[in-house]
Structure 1
């Protein structure tokens, strides 16, 4: 092999190495970008927040918007349906008072930093509304399935046990 062949082989090896490094770097940047906008929904039961509001709250503490892909409601361990107005009206028909609610629909975006009550009473009183606190802490479960706009993560948020 003469000098030109060695130079050609060396140039090809350097080019292939550069291509490999570029591919690895591009993959790392894509992974970083996906994680840098990943949402993280947390749910919590709030008692007497602010004035006298008590309820079940969802917060997006992640770095990007959460795309809602579905919800599941159970009452006393029995599946009821999705968290929408119809399910709420069915459940609330048996309650002593009608709390306010916020429905979640498939395909809506829950913005980064957003904080929203899914169900709440504005004028909560321990004596009059003990049934409501028991409901949101032990009986009612709303599970939210979501993902980032990149998709495919199949993330889930549910109320913590109390």
Structure 2
């Protein structure tokens, strides 16, 4: 074997190793993203925000809002801008049940822990506090 053949073989080995590492990192990132969100409705933990659990939430409603989930290993892009639940042609009166779910009953926690650890960032979408009506304890 001459020097050119050895160089070519080494280049192929390095390229294949790089490809294997890239595929592994992509798989690990997708796995991490699937386990990074937790949904709670009425104080009960439903689980990760995926299609199965979104359906469990929507089963509680008379209408069926559109849900955007992070299923099937999809990575959530940095500039992703869509509502987790939405209703086409929204009308506050007609869709009062969905408004109540989203503003008063639903908690969505998203955790971000970089693969190398240490930061453990969390953001939580919490329900709005209930407004007290006249006659309830503490209202005056």
* TM-score, with structure 1 as normaliser: 0.51
* Corresponding residue SS for 1:158: strand
Which of 72, 97, 116 is matched with 1:131 structurally?
A: 97
Question: 2:13 aligns to what?
Answer: none
Which of 70, 88, 106 is matched with 1:122 structurally?
A: 88
Shift of 1:114: 2.1
Shift of 1:148: 4.3
CA contact (8 A) 1:146 1:155 kept: yes
When residues 146 and 131 of structure 1 are mapped into structure 2, their CA distance, relative to the original with a 3 A threshold, is same
Question: 2:7 aligns to what?
Answer: none
Alpha-carbon separation, structure 2, partners of 1:106 and 1:71: 14
Max radius of gyration: which structure?
A: 1
Query: Which structure 2 segments of 5+ residues have no match?
Result: 1-31, 129-140
Deviations 1:96-150 (A, max 9, x none): 1111111125964322222121111121111111111111111011111123465
When you count strand as a share of all residues, which structure comes out higher? 1
* TM-score, with structure 2 as normaliser: 0.58
Shift of 1:94: 2.4
Tell me the matched-pair count: 96
Alpha-carbon separation, structure 2, partners of 1:103 and 1:123: 21
* Corresponding residue SS for 1:110: coil
What is the root-mean-square deviation in Å for CA atoms of aligned residues?
A: 2.3
CA contact (8 A) 2:65 2:87 kept: yes
The answer as to 2:42 corresponding to 1:76 is: yes
